[in-house]
Structure 1
Amino acid sequence: MQLKPLKGQHHVSAITADAKRNYEFYTKVLGLRLVKKTVNQDDTSVYHLFYADERGNPGTDLTFFEIPRAGQTRYGTNSISTTSLRVPKDASLLYWKQRFEEHGVEHDEISQVTGRATLSFRDFEGQRLMLVSDEHNVGVAGGQPWEKSPVELEHAIVGLGPVTLTVANLESTAKILTFVLGFKENRRYKNEEQEEIVVFDTGEGGTGAEVHIEVRPDLPVERPDRGSVHHVAFRVENEEELKRWVEYLKEFRIPNSGFVERYYFRSIYFREPNGILFELATDGPGFEGDESFEHLGENLALPPYFENQRAEIEAKLKPLHTKE
């Protein structure tokens, strides 16, 4: 079956124990726009928050499930160990380093990683994040920052960069990326600890379409909680193409969710051999089907198939005020 190449990262979904502090950090410190305040469709008792560029363009979404009783993650292997965020240029990292110092954000020094300027940092729950400069990027275009962001627009975050997976076994994950998902090995480099990282890319390539794999069989398996990543999603052009992927995964006999309706996009979920959850998600319909562009994220949005449960759902949620 002939399929179009995946277009790069679609979104990354992580776990927080505190939706209010999470909202304040990702909007007021990082300057992302909350484009959708909704619920986890598999557990409607908890929030699902989507932060992105001005309208939630695919490839710019960093999302969080709120699990209020989540403990602290025990970091380890078989995990999505770093989520990177793209900024326009090298000089942007100087701006961000100063901003992190002003806001008390834990961060490392600016460094070069595989030819790109980067700045690693952690949020208040230990979520492992990295800013990566797009100054020399050739590949998937970034998004458009929201003009009402508190961050200077010339330095604002424009989307998701490379996602780093830490695995115990390279070969099994590499086979899924290459033989099944159509990624290609692009290059290898050493990190600061002199461990080899293998880079795979897809589609147009560049910062918005890379997966970096760190091999660490010496580590225990990560026990995820707050501060961890739940899954990474890759971009599929449309619903028709996604349905072709459903059939394609069936041919490989890869256990998967089958076609899943998420209203804002359509999806398939499956785990690669090291246990990391992958999602394939369509570029549309997007986030403006139930809210106007001007008012994205201000109110609790529910897909139509949950509207008849609104009163029950709202009663279980702690109020989260996101209308400025």
Structure 2
Amino acid sequence: MAVPNYPKPPFKTQQQTFPGKTDKMDPRPDHGEDSYEGHGLLKGKKALITGGDSGIGAAVAIAYAREGADVAIAFLKGEEKDAASIGALIEKAGQKAVLVPCDISDDAQAKALIEKVVAELGGLDILVNNAAYQRYYESFDDITLDDWRKTFETNVHAVFNLTRLSVPHLEDGGSVINTASVNSKKPTPNILPYSATKGALANLTIGLAGLLAEKGIRVNAVLPGPIWTPFIPAGMAAEEVAQFGSQTPFGRPGQPAELASAYVMLAADGASYTSGALLTISGGAVTL
């Protein structure tokens, strides 16, 4: 299958409030709705994807369902439309979809999320910690302590907590996949809190891989480069959005659909010896 002729910058100048809406993006991201073909790699598995209503999480949800997994997605209140759209695609693939509005940084909501998912899916084999918070800052003086804490609570503390809550349900062969970022290796100054959390998440991934190996649970992370998701117009300056991805050798941002195969590979039984891996997908862009 030929690679689609994906759009290149310059893009239309656009901004949104966090977390952003897929329908308001121009061009619209490709989540693999019309292109991803499954091969039964996750047949019979049960997965939870946080932030599964849009962007990378949505592409992973579609791919997992077409690979034979039942899929639960967690999303923020107000994102029901996008969540319902992904849920419909999961069901169209013949799999069970569970849609749960949840602020993962709230301990009580996180606990209720895991309980609901395990009850409705009948277990849990794969946890994809994908949801995150990002904000753009013009200068260091604009970064407040509250923003710093909110970013860490969502991007790091919630990941640890959801993993902690999921481990009792992840049997031998279970998989935890974290969405980190190339910012963990090459921080972007104007999103300093976000970059710092992704560095922590990469470290957390490697540490958890060592701790959970005795339970037969694998822990890995995908480190995306510039990917065209609602995060971009919702978390970057308008002029940067217009040129987003132009710095890569491909001269464009990646599409969410182009990351799905990495998450499938890391979740599949064929990756039984892969743990503690930090998989960079950045269109050839150099990271440290």
TM-score normalised by length of structure 2: 0.31
Which protein has the bigger strand share? 1
Name the one with the larger helix percent.
2
